[in-house]
Structure 1
Amino acid sequence: MTNMKKPSFNDTMLILVFAAAILAMPLWLDPFGGNYPDLLQKFAIYGIFAIGFNILFGLTGYLSFGHAAFLGVGSYAAVWSFKLLTMNAIPAVIFGVLFAGLLAAIIGFLSLRRTGIYFSILTLAFAQMSYNLAYSVLTPITNGETGLQLARSDPRILDKLFSDGPASAGLPSTELFGETMSGYPGFYFCAVLLIIGFYISLRIFRSPFGLMLKGIKSNQNRMKYTGLNTRPYMLTAFIISGMYAGLAGSLLAVTDPLAGAERMQWTASGEVVLMTILGGAGTLVGPMLGAGLIKYFENIFSSFDDSVLQQAFSFLPDSVLEIVVPVVGLFVGSGWHLTLGLLFMIIVIFLPGGLVEGFRRIFNYFTSGGGKAETQSVEAHNQAGE
């Protein structure tokens, strides 16, 4: 990634607007009921996960179904850092990123020998092997189905070495130089790392390295005919993407210090694919939007039970209320997956470029006097990369 240009004025404005929007999330999400810390932390963490996945899938077109393995490894590495070294979040994040990057280098080196659906199946197989290893064979390291948790007997060498007073009677909390990483402090720690991750992603998109990845996505065979070896570029993108996943996994452990094999299941890999496609694969902010949408549905829509619906539609006559509540209840509460599935179908059919394409069409419709936005092609959207 040599000869990387400085960010343009538009890119600088994009970064500033993105940072302001992320840091102000507790304010503008308040009317939508999504301003509580646990949900805000998930928005930021899975935003990092999706942005990293987009570097691989959005730029190169290589669809990985195994990124949950790096998410899980990041969590395990972070919890072991808490157990062995210190409750400070910085070493945990560093170890989570490094171990995920190491695993990504191994899996990527083997998987990238194939392309297309064969690459996807290979990554899925490696992720499932990682899950089964964590669930059974590596029980001394992962604690199996119970999950890896903190214990009072943990050595925590650095904490004991620099501690001035007696150890606490209960389990310690994760912290950053004395500030507990729970609640809003935990969110802002994740938010700052999300902004940094977004900035790095932007620089990759704008760099010669990013342009090379886009060329691989456009026509890899033609690039090979010119004598270019594309595998080092692909492996680098795969490792960077895996390190983002490891960062997200370590932050899951920072905000809730435990790690379980369920974070390595194929469903977690499928979830990040949905996030990226919903928001807009190959765009800068799209994956973050998709992650936020899915986590909002998962945490807010899933809480709408019959009593909430009856209160919301209490203005209707009783005869109508008895019909409306059961029908709407199919799409919220435990049925929120149905709403998400319908939304995914609509976006894939009518907005292949995801939510970003939809926003762009609406913007162009009003700025061009109406109607002209419909002529915008999906190819032009992908080339814009925003």
Structure 2
Amino acid sequence: MTKQPTARNDLLLMAVFTLAILTMPIWAAPFGAGYPDLLQKFAIYGLFAVGFNILFGLTGYLSFGHAAFLGVGSYTAVWSFKLLSMNVIPAVIFGMMTSGLFALLIGYVSLRRSGIYFSILTLAFAQMSYNLAYSVLTPITNGETGLQLAIGDARILDNMFASEAATAIPATNLFGIEMSGYPGFYFCAALLIIGFYIALRITRSPLGTILKAIKSNQNRMNYTGLNTRPYTLTAFVISGMYAGLAGCLLAVTDPLAGAERMQWTASGEVVLMTILGGVGTLLGPVLGAGIIKYFENIFSSYNDQVLHGIFAFLPDPIENVLVAITGLFVGDGWHLTLGALFMVIVIFLPGGVIEGFTRLYSWVRAKVKQDAGGNSVNNGKSQPQSAE
């Protein structure tokens, strides 16, 4: 019988998660991942994956088009910086609203089908959005060049209170705090924590229960007379708003937007993150996002020169052989390592990294109980009496 989560367990989970995210610059540093740019990516794509898991993990609908909402959020945020203010709050609000409306439109059409047909529809919409951003919508997206800031942008709200004209492109800020470096990471981290808490509350809510029932057997739900479409559409829109928020944060930390963020590969990446970490789990998507971004940014930096420095203590022939072999799995070959890891996870741990941790915890717990039971039996044995 599965043990039901309690409010105390959820509170403990939130406390541990919050502490882990806020102290990431400390414990990630020994792994070479303690610099702000990579930490920002961890937080942003973790948020993206948490939102995607609401649709895929809870409801069972696999979308191959979530990168479209990521791109819409980025474009909206940059336009907010250009027209209104460099303050990130309006950008985040309008980005989430725009991506939510876009998700409502796409979800209303796509959710008329399920299974592979739904996946193909979302992929088609994402590719249409990508191609439109490159061609028809060039006045809005600036085509393949990408949407960027300029000194002459209107920035109506900023210029209303400015004493003099700007001589350089200002930085994105949160009421004067520039969103670069560690302040940018902590802003993204705060939104990740809030997004994780909302996902937790959705999972534990009646809506989450209905979404899990839909994933289990949607036909049976329909036979009971329950119209499941409003619930699946709600999950789709919420998930799209998470993706839009992640797109906003990409523009906050690096104020530009390009159509490449809407490619099908970006949609496939979030699917890999979720499966790698653990579909339907709360922590799994965040772990999956961290693993993939770590491989992308750290493993890819290990070129031949770095490898020669690592193996320099060995004799030259052995050093050259090890560099040649290791070079296949790092540097430009980091995809090979990630692919091998993904195969191992899918074959031996279908529940992702979280399943691995769960199995390890269960094994250790059983071992401790076994040892404790053996000790208690030994301690309780009666000593043999000497014959008189």
Q: TM-score category by the smaller chain?
A: over 0.9
Q: Secondary structure at the match of 1:18?
A: helix
Equivalent pair of 1:7/1:203 in contact (CA under 8 Å): no
Matched, 1:233 2:231: yes
* 3-state SS in 2 of match to 1:137: coil
The CA deviation at 1:311 is 1.1
Mapping for residues 226-375 of structure 1, pairs under 5 Å: 226-369=224-367
For residues 265-289 of structure 1, give each alpha carbon's deviation from its aligned partner in whole angstroms, at most 9, with x where no partner exists. Answer: 0000000000000000100000000
Counterpart mapping for 1:371-386 below 5 A? none
Aligned CA RMSD, in angstroms, stands at 1.3
Q: 1:167 deviation in Å? A: 2.5
Q: Describe the SS at the equivalent of 2:280.
A: coil
Q: What whole-Å deviation, never above 9, does each CA across 1:81-116 have from its counterpart, x for those lacking one?
A: 000000000000011100000000000000000010
User: Any residues of structure 2 matched to 1:12-51 within 5 Å, and which?
Assistant: 12-51=11-50
Which residue identity lines up with residue 47 of structure 2 in the other structure? I
1:16-95 matched pairs, under 5 angstroms: 16-95=15-94
Measured after TM superposition, the shift of residue 315 of structure 1 is 2.2
Deviation at 1:7, TM superposition (A): 7.2
- 1:199 is matched with which residue: 197, 201, 220? 197
Aligned residue type for 2:230: P
SS in 2 for 1:369: helix
Compute the displacement of 1:371 (Å): 12
For residues 351-384 of structure 1, give each alpha carbon's deviation from its aligned partner in whole angstroms, at most 9, with x where no partner exists.
0000000011111111111899xxxxxxxxxxxx
In 2: Cα distance, 1:362 partner to 1:265 partner: 37
What amino acid maps onto 1:237 in structure 2?
A: A
Task: Give the TM-score taking structure 2 as reference length.
Answer: 0.93
Percent of pairs with identical residues: 74
Q: Distance in 2 between matches of 1:298 and 1:85?
A: 34
Contact 1:145 1:260 in 2 (8 A): yes
- Look up the match of 1:381: none
Q: How far, CA to CA, are the matches of 1:306 and 1:186 in structure 2? A: 33
Listed as ranges, the matches of 1:130-209 within 5 Å are 130-163=129-162, 165-209=163-207
Greater gyration radius:
2
- Give the TM-score of the pair, scaled to structure 1: 0.93
Q: Is the 8 A contact 1:364 1:370 kept in 2?
A: no
Could you tell me which runs of 5 or more consecutive residues in structure 1 were left unpaired when the two chains were aligned: 1-5, 373-386
Cα distance, 1:160 vs structure 2: 0.6
- Separation (CA, whole Å) in 1 of partners of 2:201 and 2:277: 20
* Counterpart amino acid of residue 320 in structure 2: E
Q: In the aligned structure 1, how far is the partner of 2:140 from the partner of 2:99?
A: 16
Aligned partner of 2:354: which letter?
Answer: V
Contact 1:276 1:290 in 2 (8 A): yes
Contact 1:75 1:259 in 2 (8 A): yes
Question: Aligned AA for 1:55?
Answer: I
Provide the rounded CA distance (Å) in 2 between the counterparts of 1:14 and 1:162: 43
Shift of 1:133: 0.5
User: 1:212 is matched with which residue: 207, 210, 227?
Assistant: 210
Instruction: Using the TM superposition, give the Cα deviation of residue 168 of structure 1 relative to its aligned residue in structure 2, in angstroms.
Output: 2.5
Q: Distance in 2 between matches of 1:29 and 1:211?
A: 35
Distance in 1 separating the partners of 2:337 and 2:369: 29
Q: In the aligned structure 2, how far is the partner of 1:95 from the partner of 1:55? A: 22
1:129 positional shift: 0.2
The superposition leaves residues 7-51 of structure 1 with CA deviations (integer Å, 9 ceiling, x where unpaired) of 711101111110110000000001000000000000000000000
Q: Which residue of 1 aligns with 2:118?
A: 119
**Which amino acid is 1:340 matched to?**
L
- Relative to structure 1, the CA distance from residue 371 to residue 66 in structure 2 (aligned partners, 3 Å threshold; closer, same or farther) is farther
Whole-angstrom CA distance in 2 between matches of 1:367 and 1:311 = 42
Q: Work out whether residues 348 and 354 of structure 1, in 8 Å CA contact, stay in contact via their aligned partners in 2.
A: yes
Task: Tell me which residue corresponds to 1:382.
Answer: none
Aligned length: 366
Distance 1:153 1:41 in 2: 28
Q: Tell me, in whole angstroms, the C-alpha distance in 2 between the residues paired with 1:275 and 1:370.
A: 33
CA-CA distance at 1:122 after TM superposition: 0.1
Query: Residues of 1 paired with 2:171 and 2:316: CA distance?
Result: 50
Pick which of 310-319 and 28-37 moved more: 310-319
The offset of 1:225, in angstroms, is 0.5
**273-282 or 357-366, larger mean C-alpha shift:** 357-366
- Partners in 2 of 1:80 and 1:38 — Cα distance? 23
